[in-house]
């Protein structure tokens, strides 16, 4: 691994930054996406996964013909309420990874699912070979401490790549100050948008549907 610096758009970039295996944070993934010419607002998850060599499969998760590939996966799935499964990230026998998404869910939810599974992929793939997800905000409060922490991390990862704070600030400074318009721009649910505005301290509590338009930063 060399330490040669590269200059991109007059900015000095970190060495080897575009290597997918070195990505360990949302900002690094977004930089990778930008360097690959992938649209980031809204984030083009299909192109991104293609570049990362991660397979996305949209399917009804009730039958699960393709993902019943091992005993571990089968038992994971049996434990879950199949109706509530949003997505599953799993390693294939050849070492590649697949994100299976519930095709019956709304597209915004599917996008959050994919982003969440990318969080597991980049942060936790060395700790397991299958990650099954039901309702994200619920799963943060159930299960053992380690599992809860991983769910928090995957949710934060997802929110950050789908709705980067600096992009929200940019939109707000361009006059887009209501949650619905912001959510539409990022192709997320208004609930996810609201969570992210709260998390990034951009929500004006006095006017629920509006966010501060005088943000400096």
- Where do contacts with Zn ion occur on this chain (CB under 5 A)? 133, 151, 154
Closest CB to Zn ion among residues 110, 168: 110
Distance of closest approach, residue 151 Cβ to Zn ion, in angstroms: 5
Distance of closest approach, residue 167 Cβ to Zn ion, in angstroms: 24
The separation between the first and the last C-alpha atoms of the chain, rounded to the nearest angstrom, is 35
Closest CB to Zn ion among residues 58, 152: 152
Strands (E), 60-154: 87-91, 97-102, 130-133
Q: Return the half-sphere exposure (C-beta side, CA atoms, 13 A cut-off) of residue 179.
A: 18
Closest CB to Zn ion among residues 121, 202: 121
Distance of closest approach, residue 9 Cβ to Zn ion, in angstroms: 34
Distance of closest approach, residue 207 Cβ to Zn ion, in angstroms: 33
Kindly give, in sequence order, each residue whose CB lies less than 8 Å from that of residue 150, ignoring residues fewer than 6 positions away. Answer: 120, 123, 124, 127
- CA angle in degrees (0–180, nearest 5) for 124-93-61: 75
Closest CB to Zn ion among residues 36, 129: 129
Closest CB to Zn ion among residues 76, 151: 151
Q: By Cβ distance, which residue is nearest to Zn ion?
A: 133
Distance of closest approach, residue 133 Cβ to Zn ion, in angstroms: 4
């Amino acid at each position: 691994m060399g330490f040669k610096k590269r200059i991109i758009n007059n900015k000095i970039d970190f060495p080897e930054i575009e290597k997918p295996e070195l990505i360990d944070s949302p900002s690094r993934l977004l930089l990778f996406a930008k360097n690959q010419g992938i649209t980031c607002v809204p984030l083009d998850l299909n192109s991104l996964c293609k570049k990362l060599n991660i397979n996305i499969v949209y399917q009804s998760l009730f039958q699960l013909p393709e993902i019943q590939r091992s005993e571990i996966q089968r038992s994971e799935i049996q434990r879950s309420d199949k109706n509530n499964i949003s997505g599953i990230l799993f390693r294939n026998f050849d070492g590649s990874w697949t994100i299976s998404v519930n095709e019956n869910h709304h597209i915004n939810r599917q996008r959050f699912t994919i982003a969440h599974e990318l969080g597991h992929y980049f942060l936790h793939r060395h700790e397991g070979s299958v990650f099954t997800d039901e309702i994200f905000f619920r799963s943060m409060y159930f299960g053992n401490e380690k599992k809860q922490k991983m769910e928090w991390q995957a949710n934060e990862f997802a929110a950050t790549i789908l709705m980067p704070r600096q992009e929200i600030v940019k939109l707000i400074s361009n006059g887009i100050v209501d949650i619905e318009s912001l959510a539409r721009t990022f192709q997320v649910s208004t609930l996810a948008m609201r969570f992210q505005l709260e998390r990034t301290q951009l929500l004006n509590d006095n006017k629920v549907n509006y966010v501060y338009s005088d943000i400096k930063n």
